[in-house]
Amino acid sequence: MVDFKSIRAIDIHTHAEEPCGLHADDGYDELQTTMAKYFRAPWAHPPTIPETAAHYRSMNIAAVIFPVDAERETGFRRYKNEEVAELCAQNSDILIPFASIDPHKGKLGAREARNLVEHHGVQGFKLHPTMQGFYPNDRLAYPLYEAIAESGKPALFHTGQTGVGAGMPGGNGMKLKYSNPMFIDDVAADFPDMNIILAHPSFPWQEEALAVATHKPNVYIDLSGWSPKYFPPILIRYANTVLKHKMLFGSDWPMIAPERWLTAFEDAEFKEEVRPLILKQNAMQLLGVTG
């Protein structure tokens, strides 16, 4: 169990990229290295979950970590949720497992979600409309949302532009349109008891994301995937005012290291009293933990 009193911050957005048990499929390495170049990430191979745990432990920052189940859309087999959860259990002082299920799995996916919460300690779910190839308000995803809503755990959606496939022929087939946060407004309306996190400054739909989070009490925003140096002024203005209880620190590790994000955060124009909310308090509230 994470000691929430003594940790410095909670990083709500980190990725489990490298299955330990087996090497990833052909082509996956190319997707990874192209993306690392896009983000100027300083590694040749993505870190394993134990390496990620060690890194975060050394900084006294807890991390939510998840795989992305995009095997239907990309053809690359997924990193098993159970395996991620097991490695998180071995590093439960610092890692908090989220799971990822392609909504196209329908009722089977809903069953998997229930099982992961009941038996594997999963604390939330990651969805990636662009990598999974679906509109968030498509009814095909609703059996999965029903299971997530029932569990009381949050659903984190990628929004906006993505580094995945950027610069590859045809963007590796990834379609940006699915990640417009306005589609998630429908989900927030239909599942008012399910907490939702819109990941990233949602370029080119930043104002849409701010509107949805302002209008729907169950919608939060994570600030991952961008250095705070490049945050649009309107995002900082909302974080300092109406959305100060809705904004969450996230890095997007391993594409962006938390230390790089935090250094830029110090120089950005956030109000002093808002910083601890973003770094830790809002995430504790959302995860339903005390400390």
Q: Contact at 8 Å (CB) between 204 and 180?
A: no
Considering the complex, state which of residue 102 and residue 252 has its C-beta at the smaller distance from Zn ion. 252
The stretch near Zn ion (CB under 5 A) out of 33-41, 250-258, 266-274, 283-291 is 250-258
Helix ranges (DSSP H) in 9-101:
28-39, 49-59, 71-74, 81-90
Considering the complex, state which of residue 64 and residue 274 has its C-beta at the smaller distance from Zn ion. 64
The conformation of residue 61, written as its DSSP 8-state character, comes to E
Q: Which of 11, 102, 112, 252 binds Zn ion (CB under 5 A)?
A: 252
Based on the number of CB atoms within 10 Å of its own CB, is 51 exposed (0-12), middle (13-18) or buried (19 or more)?
middle
The stretch near Zn ion (CB under 5 A) out of 85-93, 135-143, 239-247, 249-257 is 249-257
Considering the complex, state which of residue 208 and residue 252 has its C-beta at the smaller distance from Zn ion. 252
Residue 159: alpha-carbon gap to chain centroid:
10
Place of tokens 């082509």: 27
Query: Phi-psi bin for 97: left (phi > 0), alpha (psi -120 to 50), beta?
Result: beta
Q: Least distance (Å) from Zn ion to the CB of residue 4?
A: 23
Considering the complex, state which of residue 109 and residue 160 has its C-beta at the smaller distance from Zn ion. 160
The stretch near Zn ion (CB under 5 A) out of 70-78, 79-87, 246-254, 258-266 is 246-254
Considering the complex, state which of residue 66 and residue 110 has its C-beta at the smaller distance from Zn ion. 66
Under rule CB under 5 A, how many of the chain's residues touch Zn ion?
1
Contacts (Cβ under 8 Å, ≥6 apart) of 85: 97, 99, 116, 120, 121, 122
Q: Of the candidates 249, 246, 225, which has an alpha carbon nearest to the alpha carbon of residue 10?
A: 249
The stretch near Zn ion (CB under 5 A) out of 85-93, 114-122, 159-167, 251-259 is 251-259
Residue 10 has phi, psi (to 5 degrees) of: -120, 120
Q: Least distance (Å) from Zn ion to the CB of residue 164?
A: 9
Site string for Zn ion, 85-124 (x = CB under 5 A): ----------------------------------------
The Cα–Cα gap between 9 and 281 comes to 8
Q: Least distance (Å) from Zn ion to the CB of residue 119?
A: 26
Site string for Zn ion, 197-236 (x = CB under 5 A): ----------------------------------------
Q: Least distance (Å) from Zn ion to the CB of residue 130?
A: 11
3 state DSSP class of 156? strand
Considering the complex, state which of residue 145 and residue 253 has its C-beta at the smaller distance from Zn ion. 253
The Cα–Cα gap between 61 and 170 comes to 37
Q: Least distance (Å) from Zn ion to the CB of residue 175?
A: 17
Considering the complex, state which of residue 101 and residue 110 has its C-beta at the smaller distance from Zn ion. 101
The Cα–Cα gap between 231 and 160 comes to 13
Segment 10 to 49, residues that bind Zn ion, using CB under 5 A: none
Residue 9 has phi, psi (to 5 degrees) of: -165, 165
Interface with Zn ion (CB under 5 A): 252
